[in-house]
Structure 1
Amino acid sequence: MKLKFSNGESFLFSDLIEPEERLAEINYFLKTELVFDNMKMTVEEYFRYTWNDLNTVHIMDKISFYLSKMPNQRGKHDKALLSKNDEMEMNKGVRWTTKGHKKVAEKARYINFSDSSIEEKISLGLHDTDEFNSH
């Protein structure tokens, strides 16, 4: 998986490692320092600073997808990698298909974690219920 930041920096992660190793790689990555807007910050701080930026949302969605997929298995299609069409579908929230020889947009088959409601995030354990109750 390759992540490209709006400041031009990019990071590459192996798709061939086990989920525990992926989590360790991402945790280490979050502590990596980069420069953004002439400020030195960790990747985690960058995410907090640019939370509303569309590029940050896409990066977070890619990370969540990366952490939720198993490494590829020999002799089988590598389902841990998204095709360009699947990535576009995730980013735009719609997929294009043909019905009756006409090209039509349908709801995406993928639901990004960032697009989930607060209730869905709580049910998946992605959001703190105490934080939800304080609003």
Structure 2
Amino acid sequence: MLFDHCVVYGNVVQALRRGDLRLLRYAFQEHEDRFFRFAVYLVLEKLELQVYQRLLKKDLYYPKAEGPKQSSPAEVGSNCQSIEMVIDVDEVEGIMAMLIHKSLVKGYFAHKSRVVVLSKH
């Protein structure tokens, strides 16, 4: 029984650690019936924001290339894993707004210049 839970929740835990949205969505699809049966699907679905947060922080705090501490706009996203889905600008803005609103990321939008400014602290 313990092994069964490790298989079911293992991908969710790995997705949180890695900031891997694709793995999280795969885990939801693979074990959706079990998550509904145990009444944890909605709770687990809320973890998606934490995965976005981890993905963003991993890319900003641990840049791929050695060099200056600040990432240039071209470098941001260099560590992101390939996600086989299309996300439009409005969806990204919504995700960023939610992360900022929930205090998972510190930052603000500069709408005039179409930039989001994030703090590392």
Compute the TM-score of the two structures, normalised by the length of structure 1. 0.28
Compute the TM-score of the two structures, normalised by the length of structure 2. 0.30
- Higher helix fraction (1 or 2): 2
- Higher strand fraction (1 or 2): 1
